[in-house]
A and B are shown apart, each in its own frame.
Chain A
């Protein structure tokens, strides 16, 4: 482990501030622009179904790229460019999906393309950190990257079902990832992660309940691709997997009940039912897919805000498990 230069820390703070302020200042302008162009969708879980602009992905991308480019030009670290291109490709994939209903296989297949810059710019190590030690897998790591980015992208995308769920969940789960990067010697990567975290914090102001804008597929795929890229670059893959367990559980339950990769809009039987008092309850239909929210609602009907809070609590719980794992790794490293 070596300390990053003083300049790098200053650049990272500046880049994070730029990312934060771009989202904070440009997002309200972009919201008005989307409304004027009629790019709005129903927020169907609220009385009178208000129209909410979508997607917020373009501003999110702009803010993240601005911050990361500052760091790239000031430090010349190649990994940053790999992560930027990965995020940009994920954005394009999501942006297509925002405006055109694509088949279920489209997003996972197209996101494989997004993984390629990580490999080309070698933003990974040949060793997989598996908490109890490292496993040297120079060739095997490449297909792992090709699987990881689509998986994380779609996992974050699938949890974006209520106001602020994806953004709040990701903010919570970023904390163990940042801590892991800081503790295990990837200090450069920790500083590169900060502009993304700052951008997420600013975006949460607009996405939280009641949402002023939805991120859309472009927004959630940016978040997922970026999170996955940072997990790989900081050698914190297992820590990231543990932090994302509620979202992974959601994808696992969905896939094992539907038994095929399918776009959620194409499923006729809904996992939840909206009651007259705008609370949601679990569907009793046998064909309805099993999701995390459906399981949450098996205990009784809840409002949208209550469900989102439950998702945050699960994110907090999995982040605690991540911290336990970080401690475990820390002690094992010290014993060795």
Chain B
């Protein structure tokens, strides 16, 4: 599979999804364990949910930023390749 193949772009996105899953397990899941200990619908649940939401937005935001950077490099190389061709 070449870099300029569209499947490579999809493979890269898959890698990012896997990184997101791992980040959720190592960053957000430990907070959830605290949440499970406390009573549901208590103020602690709301607080931890808010922290989880902020962390999730940051993780997804970073991954979208990386994807955007990758897209720019990919498009640049693809257009360059087309001009050469």
Contacts and interface: CB of A to CB of B under 8 A. Distances in A.
A191 B36 CA distance: 31
Nearest to B29: A135
A166 interface: no
Interface stretch (A21-29, A110-118, A247-255): A247-255
Interface of B: 6-7, 9-11, 13-14, 17-18, 20-22, 24-25, 28-29, 32-33, 35-36, 40, 45-46, 49, 52-53, 56, 67-68, 71, 75, 78-79, 82
A131 B26 CA distance: 13
Interface residues of A, number: 34
Contacts of A140: 49, 52-53, 56
B36 A136 contact: yes
Contacts of B78: 295, 298
Nearest to A248: B13
Nearest to B9: A249
Contacts of A252: 67, 71
Secondary structure dominating the interface of A: helix
Contacts of B67: 252
A132 B71 contact: no
Contacts of B71: 252-253, 256
B17 A241 contact: yes
Given A242-B17, A252-B67, A298-B78, A318 B25 contact: no
A57 to B, nearest CB: 29
Nearest to B1: A317
